Chain A
Amino acid sequence: MDRTQLLLGLAFALFSLGFVGVMIRRNALVMLMFMELMLNGVILSLVTFAERSATLSGAVLVFPVFVVAAAEIAIAIPIVLLVARRRRTLDVGAWSELKG
């Protein structure tokens, strides 16, 4: 097993861990953290492929992804806080006013 395969396996593991976490946890903050884990898995795969094909574009794409991730979390956390302050819980199962 060479280094590339190892890194891709790590990226897949990170992504899967994050996805399973998002799927099974009901705490909104924890779900956000797992989503960061998924992003990191994706970023790792980007860097790996970039290194392997010896181009810079994949590595450069990492920075916009960071920026978007930071922006996302900066908006998501206040929203979660506001909802939590209102509902006195972080359980996403309790936030279901829009269900049909």
Chain B
Amino acid sequence: MNLLTLIVLLPLAGFLLNGLFGARLGKGFVSVVGCGLPVLAFLAAVRAFGELDGAAGLALVATAYTWAVVGDFSFDISFYLDRLSALMTLIVTGVGSLIHIYSTGYMKDDASYARYFAYLNLFLFFMLLLVLGRSLLVCFVGWEGVGLASYLLIGFWFEDPAKAAAGKKAFITNRVGDAGFLLGMFLLYHALGTLDFDAVNAAFQGPVAPAVSASLVGVLLFIGATGKSAQIPLHVWLPDAMAGPTPVSALIHAATMVTAGVYLVARLNGLYLVAPEASQLIAVVGVATAFFAATIAVVQTDIKKVLAYSTISQLGFMFLALGVGAYGVAVFHVYTHAFFKACLFLGAGSVIHALGGEQDIRRMGGLAKRIPVTFVAFAVATAAIAGLPPLAGFFSKDEILWYAFASERGGSALLWAVASVTALLTAFYMFRLLMLTFLTPSRMDEHTEHHVHESPLSMNGVLAVLAVLSAIGGFFHVHLFLEPVMPLPETAHALEHLELPLIILAVVVGLAGLAAAVYVYRGGLDRAERLERRFPGLHRLLSGRYYVDELYEAVLGRPLHWVSDRVFLKLGDRRLIDGSLHGLASLAQRAAGRLSSVETGQLQQYLWLALMGIVAMLAWMWRYG
């Protein structure tokens, strides 16, 4: 079997094995299958990466199956491995495998252990389909599939109605984006007659412009990306998605699935290069999302919610990079983000595990000495996301800021300024989280305090690996590695002398965030509460998350509910459909009531009627026959 097909099918095998037999064969079997197959997929991905290197920059293509033949066009399930998809495959399988291993510790006591690993493997399968698929169609199958896996895992503890509702919210919000994706795909197929990524890119880069507006297609596909990657206005599902088990949040809602939108835009860079309007929109939406999500994160009190908003914010950074044409840089940030965000989420999981389910950072504190391994990993990842050199986040975020400022493809000082303020906020809320969780005096109650324990090796080992990767990952310059596939945009020559000052400024911004967080939260919550009282309106607005959910409820939810209830249920269903059926039934009943009076039960009367009938018939026949 082909290597690429093997990479995709290994997790599917895990899903089938665990899903069908896992519950009967025990946790040992589930752990070996659930972790072993992703690790094997990772090794296969490494091997494929090596082969790709040998192929001198050319892409590896493998057709697994011909799905359908329509006319003279055939829809193939084929896989495409170039430097971009190879890198994504390595991230997905690598970080994915680590999170699987972590899960064996985190989910140890869960009753539905096998179901959990089955879903996790299913997710990996669809994600690999998304990343490796050669055509938009295969990618779309993976796209929908990860949505499904995400739904299943958010609502993993479905006994709790709130968690089941969060799953539904994620699914439905994603459907809105999927509509855009589908429309974009239809347009492309209509204009080009092919959906293969390489063919689409080549068509838009070719000498003859395709008969379709690149910006229209670009915007439609970007709508799909906003759904999956939680950008404004479809960002509302991601914070709620934290209802799932924490490793799921790390895997799906931080490191891999939510980057699908970024991957899609980067994959279609040939299209977006000739779609300046769509690119501009992407840059603006990205930077706006980054900023607003960061402001919300500043006041969140749930450890996972802070990380969720920080994820939205970081995804905004990635889209900013895509919008200014720096596709490789966006993928660079995907790559570093996967490490430090996975590390942060798994660290948060370790904290929650240690505290027996507590997630409110106002009731934490002083954990640095109690769970030192988690603390060190968390601190490294925090510094990485805050952009402190020489950790991973510094390199990628700095590149994004630079291209936002100086790119010839739509970079501007305004984008840079908003992004820099966001970076400051990022450093502030991340160090706030670190301070409140680990460093300030303990605010735990006695029972929780007593319960605190360091996590098992399976969890701490993974944390350590991810912390190391967060620290050194930035030295592998992904955007330069990807340059053969996705060239970096030109930067304005007049601005080049500013590059070094901007880097220094970025570092200063990170340190300023750190200093502000230390200043405000050094003594616990007192100073923050005073600030809260000073700006009650702002605090309400931020902790209400700009009331976007309430707005959607008022603008979409309630009218929809009203129309469904009044028009479709009461008028349409009850009155028209039920009414016409009941009307017909009662008509038949009443008519039968009248007619039944003919049936008197008197035999002689029936005979009379029969005789009359015969006579009438004979008369008729005599007259006309």
* Chain A residues engaging chain B, CB cutoff 8 angstroms: 19, 22-24, 26, 31, 92-93, 95-100
Contacts and interface: CB of A to CB of B under 8 A. Distances in A.
B593 to A, nearest CB: 8
Nearest to B605: A23
B598 to A, nearest CB: 7
B603 A99 contact: no
Contacts of A22: 604, 607
B607 A23 contact: yes
Contacts of A100: 595-600
19 contacts: A19-B611, A22-B604, A23-B604, A23-B607, A23-B608, A31-B603, A92-B603, A93-B602, A93-B603, A96-B600, A96-B601, A96-B602, A98-B601, A99-B601, A100-B596, A100-B597, A100-B598, A100-B599, A100-B600
A19 B614 CA distance: 14
Contacts of A93: 601-603
Nearest to A28: B603
Q: Chain B binding site: helix, strand, loop or mixed by DSSP?
A: helix
Nearest to B602: A93
A19 B607 CA distance: 9
Contacts of A24: 604
A5 B596 CA distance: 45
Contacts of A97: 601
A100 to B, nearest CB: 3
Nearest to B611: A19
A38 to B, nearest CB: 11
Nearest to A22: B607
A99 B599 contact: yes
Q: Of residues B596, B597, B602, B603, which shows the largest number of chain A Cβ atoms within 10 Å of its Cβ?
A: B603
Interface in B580-620: 595-604, 607-608, 611
Nearest to A94: B601
Contacts of B604: 22-24, 26, 92
A26 B599 CA distance: 18
Interface in B319-371: none
Contacts of A95: 601
Contacts of B611: 19
Contacts of A19: 611
Nearest to A99: B601
A98 B596 CA distance: 10
A19 B604 CA distance: 10
A44 to B, nearest CB: 19
B599 A98 contact: yes
Nearest to A96: B601
Contacts of B596: 100
Top 3 closest pairs, chain A to chain B, by CB: A100-B596, A96-B601, A99-B601
Contacts of B595: 100
A98 B600 CA distance: 8
A92 B601 CA distance: 9
A31 B603 CA distance: 11
